[in-house]
Structures are given as structure tokens and as C-alpha cells.
Amino acid sequence: MNVFELTRALVDIDSVTPNEEKVGLYLADLLSGLAAQTGGQVETIEVEPHRFNVLATWGQPIVTFSTHIDTVPPFFPSREDEQWIWGRGACDTKGIIASMVHAVEGLLSEGVRGIALLFVVGEERNSAGALTAAKQSRGSRFIINGEPTENKLALGSKGALRFEVTARGRMAHSAYPHLGESAIEKLLDALERVRRIPLGHDPVLGASTLNIGTIHGGRAPNVIPDHASAEVFIRIVDSGDAFRAAIAEAVAGFAEAREVLCIPALHMATLPSDAMARFETTVVSYTTDIPAFGGAWGRPFLIGPGSIHFAHTDEERVPKAELLEAIEIYKQLARQLITQ
């Protein structure tokens, strides 16, 4: 099965989080056949009932290829044309899985050992698979994580900091606003102060960004609102400590801010300068499973075919040319790390 056929076969298996069981079984069976021919081992590692990671190893792994097998909703099947393979997960990340499998097949045919494939569940929701894998490291020195980077080696990824901001007031008839206290007005005042917080900047990762993603509140147009809330999402380029303190100060007296999520920004591993010159590089604004691995599977590298701009959309697709290119890039990177 060539890389295009494998990509389509994987896309056509609905694996919207948390329904990864069928694609996990498919991959376990596929890799078991490869392992039987090449002296490898395959195991499934339970994360939750009917949800498991798939790990294939050939010797003690020095380099582990890894990505996630779940997708965002809604599921829609594959199709292809001369240039693209389309479908849910085509670039995030089933085309990446196909390229990694073919790269490992190529390395094994060259006699390379000390490699592994680790496919995990739950990245699109809470990195449950990566968190489980972090407790079961096989001593790998490097992990090549796959996400859509247009086959450019990522130098770093921004982190994520999310808050729920809540304001409380007192209901009253809208004809007599002085008898009530508007939670919506308090929330708007708090959010205006949040928007004025200076955002951080990193020389590699660039600037932090802030998004007020949702606003909810009120009972009816003729009732002074007693409750209002908003969700604020910041793509951070540091640990998030400075913004955490700043948002608490900004909302004080108007609302309360509850931290929901914090994933620090991450600088990736790099290669010697002569080797780095062979790769195009980039910086990504999204988060990955890498922080959840916590270094347990080695120093992280991030690279994969496809554009993040097509991921999570109803036009998700991956260029066929990049799938083929990724196979060679993955092989080249693994050889470099093993000899290094």
C-alpha cells in the first residue's frame, strides 16, 4: 500500500476524539505485519477502556516517531485529485502517520534499527495518550513529533493560557437600572482592561496573541443582568507567569478570572549548524503533545507535511508531493539523530 493509499485508508476510519479504537486496531494490525517481517515488536497501551496507544519498536529506540490518531469533528471521508488528498485528518495527522510508517519501512530496509513508532490518542482534547506514554518511556533519546508544518522543522511552538472571566451583578427592571448592578457592564470593563495588557515577545517565537473567544450573559433585554462570563485565550511565548499576574490585576474590582489551561511555550531541539542548513525552519503558534510527553521520550523535534491552515476546517487536505517529501525528510532526520 503506497503512502497515498494508506493516507486515504486512515482518513476513511472515523477517529473523532474519543473514538480512536478502530483506527488503533487498524494500525496495530498493520504494524504487526511489518514487525513480523523485520524483527520488531508491537504493543497496545491502554489509556482508557477502548482507547489505547500503539507502540512499535525495533531494538532499543534512539529515535521515536510519534503523532496522534484522533481528529476533531466532524468526520468526513477521503477523496483525491491530482494534487491533494482530502478528508478529515488528511493533514492532521493521518497523512503524517502514513509518511512516518513509510519512512520507518525505508529505514528498516536499509538495516537501520533503534527506531520506534508511537501513535497516541486524545491530542485534540487533553493529550491523554501522551500523558500515559510519558509514564512508560522506553528510553528514547529523541522524539520526532508530527504536526502540519509544511515539512519545515519547527524551532518552537507557542504555549496556551486560557481563562474564564466571570462578573456578577444584581437583577432589576431595566426601566430602573439604578436598582440593579449590570454584570455585563462590569465584564466589558474588565475585558477592556485585559485587552490593554502588554503582550510578551520572544526573539524566536514572536509575539503573544490574545483572543476573547466567547461572551455569555444576561436574562432578557429588559432585565439588568446578574451574571456574565467570557473565555480568554492567550497564545503565550513564555511560561505565562507574567500574564497570569497581569490578568488578575486587570479584572480586580470588576470580575474574577479562573485559569482553565496553561501550556508553556516550547523551544524545540536543534541539530548541528551544518545539519540544520539542510532543513527549512518555522515557528508554530499551536500547541502539541510535546509538553505532555515531558521529555520522557527524548529531546523533541516537530515536523510534518500539510498546512495547519487547512487543519480543523471543512476543506482539510494535504499535498501529495509533501507526503512523499516527508518520507525522505523523516528518514534523513532519523539517520542524523542516530549517528549524532
Active site residues per annotation: 123
Total residue length of the chain: 340
Distance in angstroms (rounded) separating the CA atoms of residues 210 and 333: 34
Q: Which helix (H) or strand (E) holds 276?
A: helix 273-276
Cell output for 192: 477592556
- Evaluate the omega torsion of the peptide bond into residue 18 and state whether it is cis, within 30 degrees of 0: yes
> 284 by DSSP, 3-state: which?
strand
- Strands 317-319 and 84-86, by their bridges, are antiparallel
* DSSP secondary structure, 193-262, as one string: HHHTSPPPEETTTEE-EEEEEEEEE-S-TTB--SEEEEEEEEEESS-SHHHHHHHHHHHTTT-EEEEEEE
Nearest of 144, 119, 132, 103 to residue 13 by alpha carbon: 119
Give first-to-last CA distance, the chain, whole Å: 32
Identify the H or E element spanning 104: helix 95-109
What nine digits make up the cell of 91?
Answer: 493533514
d(CA 32, CA 42): 6
